[in-house]
Structure 1
Amino acid sequence: MEVMEALHRRKSIRAFSPRPVPRELVHRILEAARWYRRAAEQGLAEVQVKLGHLYALGQGVPQDEAEAAKWFQKAAQQGDRAAQFNLGALYDQGRGLPKDPAQAFAWYRKAAEQGHPIAQAQVGKAYTEGQVVAQDFAAAVQWFRKAADQGEPTAQFNLAILYDSGRGVPQDHAQAARWYRLAADRGYALAQLNLGNLYETGQGVAKDTAAAARWYARAAAQGNADAEYALGICHADGEGVPQDTVEAYKWTVLAAEHGNAHAEVFKEVLAKKLTPEQLARAQQLIEAARHKLSGR
């Protein structure tokens, strides 16, 4: 997988959205909002950040991203790293403020220099893209490593990608496998997929088709189309798992539904190998898998 594609497959910054609040907490949140405003107006940065979060999420106050940005700005100017990161995110997304990648990067950089792991990952991402700053894979490696060492899974994955492709560092599949595994152990589907690929090909790890199938299965359980297709191939060929055309068809159909173009073709090939009874069983399994994925 190319570096640019990999870095864009998953956003590390979540958009703010209102969250439902249990009825018994409403009064306490309203009271907290009043106290937060009083303290925030006195210039307490930590409280300004909390008040910004309440406005961003619409808890205890009407949701107002511009007001959230105002309070984050006040705290960020006092050097609060969480506020700097949040302000960068709002500039990044154009929420509450005009979208401004340069301002987003500037605030991410300030937070990153204070050790904020997701901000460090965002700075690394900026260096791989080369839009706000000159493209510099060596700098990207440095920032991803800072965040990865703090356990940030997006950074661990992106650092693995750079080792895998030899950009910014000498190509090293063993190091790629190490960082993929750390992210994969934290549930990062793309890392699980890529670690499965390394086990399947024997790059950076001893070749182990059973381990490959297990990692594909973990990513497939999260609805990753490429992992679903890879797992379907494993079942079709009996590589790492018992040969099972029904299971192969199930995963291939799901992969096709989730956008894998190769699966669109392969599912028709597999369908011709199934008896009517097997096809009916496969459809039951597909429906069960769809239901499970919809409840994630």
Structure 2
Amino acid sequence: MKKLKWILTLITALVTIAILIIVFFDELKHDYDKLTSTPPIKIKAIELEIPIRDVAVIADFDKGAKAAQSGDFKTALAKWAPLAEQGHAGAQSNLGVMYASGQGVPQDHRTAVEWYTKAAEQGYAAAQHNLGVMYAHGKGVPENDKIAVKWYTKAAEQGHGNAQHNLGVMYDKGYGVPKSNMAAVKWYTKAAEQGSALSQYNLGVIYDNGHGVTENYKTAIKWYTLAAEQGFANAQSDLGNMYHSGKGVPESDNTAVKWYTLAAEQGYAQAQHNLAVMYDKGYGVPENDKVAVKWYTKAAEQGYASAQTNLGIMYNNGHGVVTDYVRAYMWFNLGAYNGNTLGSQNKASITQDMTSAQITKAQEMSSRCLESNYSDC
């Protein structure tokens, strides 16, 4: 009876340690690729008869995990390297992460691939996914989308959320496999249901535009909202568009402004431009030219052509700023350079009110702005 109690106590302790280990596997992996949110953790059942040497392995691995979590990669390497050499898949995978990211060791993508491969061939999903990333981006190996798909598929079929998303991308774009909207939706959906904001957003785009599925604005709203609520700026911006146009939801400029603002504050240029338009026109907020100029400027300085043209209009008309034809010409010129037709038209029109010296100055300002990557405009 006492022996049975001792065994049960040991098992409980080992389960606790195993949970900590599995959590750390996932966290360390995401430090490397950071593609999507962390999928739910699946814990493998521990069998009753556990050799004492396995207890020591778990203890060593746990020490390495705690060291890595505290930034002590030297100790982590000392604990994991011997385990990896003995064939421990988790240690092999984490050594791959360390070499891929240069944590505690000189960055070496080839060595990272070697360790990922050892773990992946044992069926370790995180390593299979990361190995897929290495082949997809040609890091440590020649770029090979077909092999990337192979490893993404193995990990995805084990329920690995990042791999499911990446496999969806491969089918969506036709990288390494024949393009298949149906397969893309299948894998995006699996990842989205695990909380992947990227997959949720991509599903929103697919249903919004009817790419390979029947166009469905309500379903698009569902996925955009889930991604937006996780703070994904692209989704927040597109959700703002849906509320502004009343697609799949009752039209609401107030709600559109809310979502545009959240995305704009993250630096998303399209949302900054759209938020500026809302203040410029008084949609969902009191009309405020100064605030409109603020947001047009932020988007324009990221090279967003429509914002550059609209900012030129503000300077041309003296809305929210002092009238300045030279600066207006500069922004029209930049908007035209970046492909905005209205910018080109406005640039031609405003020259009628400018001297040749002003035009020359505006052109010089445009060149300086571009050469400085919009830091000197």
TM-score when scaled to structure 1? Answer: 0.89
- Aligned length, in residue pairs: 275
Which string of whole-angstrom CA distances, capped at 9 and with x for unpartnered residues, describes residues 134-180 of structure 1? 22111111110100000111110111010000111111101000101
Comparing 197-206 and 256-265, the one that deviates more: 256-265
State yes or no: 1:179 paired with 2:259: yes
2:228 maps to: 148
Offset of residue 28 of structure 1: 2.8
Per the alignment, residue 370 of structure 2 pairs with 290
SS of 2:285's partner is coil
Aligned match of 2:346:
266
The aligned counterpart of 2:207 is: 127
CA distance in structure 1 between the aligned counterparts of 2:247 and 2:118, rounded to whole angstroms: 50
In the alignment, is residue 215 of structure 1 matched against residue 306 of structure 2?
no
SS of 1:272's partner is helix
1:18 maps to what in 2?
A: none
The structure 1 segments of at least 4 consecutive aligned residues displaced by more than 3 Å after TM superposition are none
1:169–1:27 CA distance, 2 compared to 1 (3 A): closer
Change (3 A) 1:26 1:294: farther
Measure the CA separation in 1 of the matches of 2:316 and 2:224: 38
Distance in 2 (CA, whole Å) between partners of 1:199 and 1:180 is 11
Corresponding position of 1:170: 250
- Give the structure with higher Rg (CA): 2
Match of 1:118 in 2: 198
The equivalent of 2:129 in structure 1 is 49
Change over 3 Å in CA distance of 1:29–1:163 after alignment to 2: same
| 2:361 counterpart residue number | 281
TM-superposed CA distance for 1:69, in Å, is 0.7
Map Cα deviations across residues 15-35 of structure 1 (whole Å, 9 max, x no partner): xxxxxx99xx87632222111
Classify the secondary structure of the residue corresponding to 2:322: coil
Partner of 2:179: 99
Q: Which has the higher contact order (CA 8 A, sep 6+)?
A: 1
- In structure 1, the partner of 2:154 is 74
One of 275, 290, 302 as aligned partner of 1:195? 275
The equivalent of 1:85 in structure 2 is 165
Amino acid at match of 2:210: G
* 1:236 and 2:313 are equivalent in the alignment: no
* Cα distance in 2 for residues equivalent to 1:110 and 1:82: 10
Residue-by-residue CA offset, 1:196-255 (whole Å, 9 max, x unaligned): 000011111111100001111111111111111100000001101111000000001111
Distance 1:127 1:57 in 2: 28
Instruction: Verify the 8 A CA contact 2:301 2:374 in the aligned structure 1.
Output: no
Q: CA deviation at 1:130?
A: 2.1
- Tell me the secondary structure at the aligned position of residue 302 of structure 2: coil
- What is the match of residue 118 of structure 2? 38
Q: Percent identity?
A: 41
Structure 2 contact 315–327 (Cα < 8 Å) conserved: yes
- Between the aligned partners of 1:62 and 1:132, the Cα distance in structure 2 is 32
Range with greater deviation from structure 2 (234-243 or 59-68):
59-68
How far 1:294 moved relative to its partner? 8.2
Query: Shift of residue 50 of structure 1?
Result: 0.8
Aligned counterparts of 2:124 and 2:374: Cα–Cα separation in 1: 43
**Match of 2:114, SS?**
helix
Contact residue 26 and residue 60 of structure 1 kept, 8 A = no
How far did 1:132 drift? 2.0
Question: Which runs of no fewer than 5 residues in structure 2 stay unpaired?
Answer: 1-34, 36-100
Opposite residue 133 of structure 2, the aligned amino acid is H
SS of the residue corresponding to residue 183 of structure 2 reads: helix
SS class of match (2:248):
coil
Q: Deviations over 1:67-95 (max 9, x none)?
A: 11100000000000100000000111111
Q: Distance in 2 between matches of 1:108 and 1:223?
A: 31
Instruction: Note the aligned Cα RMSD (angstroms).
Output: 1.9
Query: What's the counterpart of residue 28 of structure 1?
Result: 108
Using the alignment, how far apart are the partners of 1:26 and 1:104 within structure 2? 37
Partner of 1:61: 141
TM-score, normalization: structure 2?
A: 0.70
